């Protein structure tokens, strides 16, 4: 079973496959049956930190700090940015210093000052594969 962070239950739970959710590319909490359309970012050293967005990107910068390239996957030296992708983005991390654990629906990584867990939705996984 896939893992899912439920914003209503406020914990990591198992994903329950339901036909309507599969057709919409979302995941459903087995505890409260709420569909999750968002990628969720948690900061492991801050129990009150919770960020979610419909899309994410990993961005790379040039040595002078200007934008270089966007990616769908995490890697050392890239920064996570959460939608919307404009001046009012939800959250941006500092550069990733280590990718600790990664699966198709989850990544755990550290930056210079924080340890994060990111839970992908099925919808994002499809976009990531493109």
Q: Mean pLDDT of residues grouped by 10 in the chain (130 residues)? A: 66 66 63 70 87 87 89 92 77 93 89 91 56
Whole-structure pTM value: 0.73
**Closest to 84 in 3D by CA, of 38, 47, 48, 44:** 38
What does the pLDDT read at residue 130? 46
Strand order in the sheet with 56-61: 67-71, 56-61, 79-82, 91-92
Which pLDDT belongs to residue 104? 78
Q: Using CA atoms, how far apart are residues 24 and 46, in angstroms rounded to an integer?
A: 32
Q: Is 122 exposed, middle or buried (0-12, 13-18, 19+ CB in 10 A)?
A: buried
Tokens 């893992």 correspond to: 3
Asked if residues 21 and 100 have their Cβ atoms less than 8 Å apart, the reply is no
């Amino acid at each position: 079973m896939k893992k899912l962070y439920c914003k209503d239950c406020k914990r990591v739970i198992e994903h329950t496959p339901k036909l309507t959710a599969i057709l919409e590319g979302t995941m459903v909490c087995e505890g409260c049956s709420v569909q999750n359309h968002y990628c969720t970012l948690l900061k492991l050293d801050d129990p009150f930190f919770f960020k979610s967005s419909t899309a994410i990107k990993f961005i790379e910068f040039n040595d002078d700090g200007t934008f270089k390239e966007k990616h769908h996957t995490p890697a050392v030296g890239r920064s996570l940015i959460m939608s919307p992708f404009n001046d009012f983005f939800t959250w941006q991390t500092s550069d990733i210093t280590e990718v600790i654990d990664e699966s198709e629906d989850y990544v755990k990584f550290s930056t210079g000052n924080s340890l994060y867990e990111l839970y992908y939705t099925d919808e994002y996984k499809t976009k990531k594969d493109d």
